[in-house]
Amino acid sequence: DVKVTQSSRYLVKRTGEKVFLECVQDMDHENMFWYRQDPGLGLRLIYFSYDVKMKEKGDIPEGYSVSREKKERFSLILESASTNQTSMYLCASSRTGIETQYFGPGTRLLVL
Amino acid sequence: EDKVVQSPLSLVVHEGDTVTLNCSYEVTNFRSLLWYKQEKKAPTFLFMLTSSGIEKKSGRLSSILDKKELFSILNITATQTGDSAIYLCAVESDQTGANNLFFGTGTRLTVIP
């Protein structure tokens, strides 16, 4: 079974803090994605990566950065957390091309 | 264990056909069921269902939820090649903590001209 894990299930941070969300997949997938999900807005793509050290902006990259130093790991970084970044963050991975994405369990982030 | 199961895993039809995609779930403290269409990068939101028996409709797409039997269907009538995509079902649970959104593995639909 494909496994996508996220480092934290629930996080509480203060405004201005730097936040790291980690995602690891164990299926040697090329593609990895970070989304946020908010009520009424569905899933929105923040960043994605098709290869190690490669990243592309999604639909809402502002306020976020990412890092992919190893194939299995894709990190989402909030340089200075703000209250409007309170959300559910989902990581996903897939093989090359347009393939089924496997989602991690999600990290619910609360920024106070 | 909470889970969402979609069927079929893949489906190939001809333009004009009608298709039905299935999603069954076992999730604690059900809140809503969501359908997404995934073509390239991010899944696109289609429907959110919270009540049994009420059909949601958008053009040729419609969906309905049965909370007693714990499943939902997504119908697409008069399919077009542009409907080719992976359709994802997700169930939101009303429980505390982060793990309250559960995805199925999707149904890959291919529509042949």
Q: In the prediction, which pLDDT does B98 show?
A: 44
The predicted-structure confidence for B42-88, as pLDDT tens digits, reads as follows: 678 888 898 888 899 999 999 999 999 999 999 999 999 999 999 99
Q: In the prediction, which pLDDT does A2 show?
A: 61
Q: In the prediction, which pLDDT does B11 show?
A: 95
Question: How far is residue A43 from each of residues A86, B11, B32, B52, B54, measured CA to CA in Å?
Answer: 14, 24, 14, 23, 23
Q: In the prediction, which pLDDT does B1 show?
A: 74
Would you call A39 exposed, middle or buried from its count of C-beta atoms within 10 A (0-12, 13-18, 19+)? exposed
Greater model confidence, A39 or A83? A83
* Average pLDDT of every residue of chain A: 89
Tokens describing residue B3:
């889970």
Q: Do B106 and A100 touch (CB under 8 A)?
A: yes
DSSP letters spanning A21-60: EEEEESS--SEEEEEEEETTTEEEEEEEESSTT--EE-S-
pLDDT beyond 50 at B40? yes
* Among B88, B93, B94, B92, CA closest to B108: B88
Q: Which of A26-40, A95-109, B14-28, B42-56 has the lowest mean pLDDT?
A: A95-109
* Among B110, B20, B4, B61, CA closest to A98: B110
Please give, rounded to a whole number of angstroms, the shortest distance from the CA of A43 to a CA of chain B. 7
pLDDT band at A95 (very low <50, low <70, confident <90, very high): confident
The predicted-structure confidence for A56-71, as pLDDT tens digits, reads as follows: 888 899 999 999 999 9
- Asked if residues A100 and A4 have their Cβ atoms less than 8 Å apart, the reply is no
Interface of B with A in 39-98 (CB under 8 A): 39-45, 86, 88, 97-98
Identify the sign of the CA torsion B20, B107, A104, A41.
Answer: negative
Percent of chain B with pLDDT over 70: 90
Q: Do A108 and B97 touch (CB under 8 A)?
A: yes
When pLDDT is averaged across residues A70-98 and rounded to a whole number, the result is 90
Contacts of A43 in chain B (CB under 8 A): 36, 42-43, 45
Which residues does B71 contact at the CB level (< 8 Å), separation at least 6?
A: B22, B23, B24, B25, B65
Percent of chain A with pLDDT over 70: 91
DSSP letters spanning B54-106: --EEETTEEEEEETTTTEEEEEE-S--GGG-EEEEEEEEE--SSS--EEE---
When pLDDT is averaged across residues A30-45 and rounded to a whole number, the result is 83
The answer to whether B14 contacts chain A (CB < 8 Å) is no
